[in-house]
């Protein structure tokens, strides 16, 4: 069945990018969706062939091809494995921007909520007070592997505690100012990570700037191909940081890194992942941490490995804690299945990938799981609650901040929430 090709210039770009693929198949072993389905159309090679056929008009747009392309997790592990340097991420993004349908009802609601982080935080607090997470786990088990509203509701997690994460009093002198991106979902469900960032950065002598009005980075909409929506969602964040004068903004959610880079492009602001930033700070080695005689499993999110390119940072940081025993989860599967909102919309792919990761965690004998992305944290923690497995899932810097020794020197520079702070 054939159809007319899309816009000629875009079609030519898509075909040119697709033709970089030599169909060798070395991407198949690292592709999470192929791992689950063992279907060629659910592999990078298969998806490249679909995009090329659609661009050339040899294949008519339809639900079948669209479904295979939508289910890609955009983990980019195939790019790392490809010997031909195929720009799979760019190819998929261009196709999605051209072919993505308008947001459906679930996406529309999701975009509406993440556009209002204050409302999201208020709803999260209400859910926490009501203890929703305790009785939603059975609902999540009954909803598997189906998607839909029941699954979305069942994924609501409890709010993390910020106990033990008060700013330290040791300071080596103010060394500069850095912005801290709070995000949308992360502003509620990664609040302990943000408190940890303030504690560690303050101890190292940085003044932390958190401008009022910041919100979403637009990553969820970008991944779905809704670039205009992404730009609208990220506009408030761009305005907020543009008024601060900071030249570096730190992000604790590795999945937000690319979206925030896109949002702040052209503003002269460097975006750094918090773990990578701390690992590169020569003074971090001077910090003192209380011993921790515990086995900790380290999960490395796809975004940290393939986008930020800072796979070794979490373990390098955690090794500063005396007595800690680190276990890095095996490389496969490459993705836990979270992938932004993918775990909400495609449970049949996301849940088997998560189960593999959780099986690895339980086999490791660790009592704590550290991961550097809020989406992975939520997905993995939800899975542990469904299993009735009591274990903390937190960001590596939260564990570091909990163990940080307060040396009792001068007070740290306070976090600034004024968009015009200097």
- 3 or 213: whose pLDDT is higher? 213
pLDDT at residue 166, rounded to an integer: 86
pLDDT at residue 331, rounded to an integer: 87
Q: What percent of the chain has pLDDT over 90?
A: 70
Peptide bond into 333 cis (omega under 30): yes
Assess whether pLDDT exceeds 70 at residue 411.
Answer: no
Phi-psi region of 131 (alpha: psi -120 to 50; beta: other; left: phi over 0): left
Indicate the pLDDT class of residue 136, thresholds 50, 70 and 90. Answer: low
- Write the DSSP string, 33-99: HHHHH--GGGSHHHHHHHHHHHHHTSS---HHHHHHHHT-----HHHHH-TT---HHHHHHHHHHHH
Mean pLDDT in residue range 301-326: 96
321-340 b/e with 16+ CB inside 10 Å = b? beebebbbbeeebbbbbbbb
Beta carbons within 8 Å of 260's beta carbon, 6+ residues apart:
181, 217, 219, 234, 237, 249, 251, 271
Range scoring the smallest mean pLDDT among 47-61, 100-114, 167-181, 287-301: 167-181
Q: What percent of the chain has pLDDT over 70?
A: 88
What is the rounded CA–CA span in Å between residue 90 and residue 86? 9
Give the count of beta carbons closer than 10 Å to the beta carbon of residue 255.
29
What size, in residues, is the chain?
422
- Record the pTM: 0.89
Range scoring the smallest mean pLDDT among 206-215, 354-363, 409-418: 409-418
pLDDT at residue 392, rounded to an integer: 93
pLDDT at residue 413, rounded to an integer: 45
Give kind and range of the element (H or E) at residue 208: strand 206-209
Domain covering 285-403: architecture: 3-Layer(aba) Sandwich (3.40)
What is the rounded CA–CA span in Å between residue 211 and residue 189? 19
Instruction: Answer whether 345's CB lies under 8 Å from 106's CB.
Output: yes
Assess whether pLDDT exceeds 80 at residue 133.
Answer: no
Handedness of CA 8, 83, 342, 256 (dihedral sign): negative
Give the count of beta carbons closer than 10 Å to the beta carbon of residue 405.
12
What is the rounded CA–CA span in Å between residue 280 and residue 294? 25
Segment 58-72, tens digit of pLDDT: 999 888 999 999 999
Assess whether pLDDT exceeds 90 at residue 156.
Answer: no
Indicate the pLDDT class of residue 254, thresholds 50, 70 and 90. Answer: very high
pLDDT at residue 172, rounded to an integer: 56
What mean pLDDT is reported for the chain? 88
Strands laid side by side in the 368-371 sheet: 325-328, 295-299, 368-371, 392-394
Mean pLDDT in residue range 185-202: 95
Rg of the chain over Cα atoms, rounded to whole angstroms, equals 22
Of 14, 30, 131, 143, whose CA–CA distance to 79 is shortest?
Answer: 30
What is the rounded CA–CA span in Å between residue 56 and residue 168? 60
What is the rounded CA–CA span in Å between residue 279 and residue 314? 8
What is the rounded CA–CA span in Å between residue 250 and residue 60? 43
Mean pLDDT in residue range 396-413: 75
* CATH code, 8-99: 1.10.1060.10
pLDDT at residue 96, rounded to an integer: 94
Mean pLDDT in residue range 149-155: 71
Segment 100-130, tens digit of pLDDT: 888 988 898 889 988 888 888 888 787 777 6
- The domain limits of the chain are 8-99, 285-403
pLDDT at residue 417, rounded to an integer: 46
Indicate the pLDDT class of residue 171, thresholds 50, 70 and 90. Answer: low
Indicate the pLDDT class of residue 50, thresholds 50, 70 and 90. Answer: very high
């Amino acid at each position: 069945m054939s159809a007319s090709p899309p816009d000629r210039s875009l079609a030519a770009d898509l075909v040119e990018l697709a033709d970089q693929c030599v169909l060798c198949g070395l991407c198949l072993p690292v592709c999470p969706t192929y791992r689950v389905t063992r279907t060629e159309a659910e592999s990078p090679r298969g998806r490249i062939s679909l995009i090329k056929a659609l661009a050339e008009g040899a294949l008519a747009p339809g639900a079948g091809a669209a479904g295979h392309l939508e289910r890609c997790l955009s983990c980019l592990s195939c790019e790392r494995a490809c010997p031909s340097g195929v720009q799979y991420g760019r190819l998929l993004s261009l196709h999605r921007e051209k072919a993505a349908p308008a947001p459906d009802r679930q996406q529309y609601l999701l975009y509406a909520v993440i556009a209002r982080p204050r409302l999201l935080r208020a709803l999260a607090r209400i859910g926490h007070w009501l203890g929703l997470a305790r009785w939603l786990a059975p609902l999540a088990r009954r909803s598997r592997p189906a998607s839909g509203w029941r699954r979305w509701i069942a994924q609501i997690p409890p709010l993390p505690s910020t106990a033990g994460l008060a700013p330290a009093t040791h300071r080596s002198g103010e060394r500069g100012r850095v912005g801290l991106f709070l995000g949308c979902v992360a502003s509620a469900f990664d609040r302990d990570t943000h408190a940890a960032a303030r504690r560690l950065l303050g101890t190292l002598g940085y003044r932390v700037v958190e401008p009022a009005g910041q919100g979403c980075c637009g990553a969820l909409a970008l991944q779905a191909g809704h670039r205009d929506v992404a730009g609208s969602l990220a506009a408030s964040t761009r305005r907020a940081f543009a008024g601060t004068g900071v030249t570096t903004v730190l992000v604790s959610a590795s999945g937000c890194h690319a979206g925030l880079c896109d949002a702040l492009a052209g503003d002269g602001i460097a975006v750094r992942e918090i773990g990578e930033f701390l690992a590169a700070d020569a003074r971090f080695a001077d910090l003192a941490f209380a011993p921790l005689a515990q086995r900790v499993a380290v999960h490395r999110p796809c975004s940290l490995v393939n986008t930020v390119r800072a796979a070794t940072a979490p373990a390098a940081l955690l090794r500063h804690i005396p007595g800690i025993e680190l276990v890095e989860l095996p490389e496969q599967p490459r993705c836990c299945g979270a992938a932004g909102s993918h775990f909400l919309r495609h449970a049949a792919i996301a849940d088997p990938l998560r189960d593999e990761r959780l099986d690895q965690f339980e086999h490791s004998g660790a009592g704590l799981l550290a991961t550097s992305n809020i989406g992975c944290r939520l997905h993995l923690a939800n899975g542990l609650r469904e299993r009735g497995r009591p274990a903390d899932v937190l960001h590596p810097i939260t564990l570091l901040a909990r163990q940080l020794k307060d040396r009792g020197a001068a007070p740290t520079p306070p976090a600034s929430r004024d968009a015009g702070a200097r």
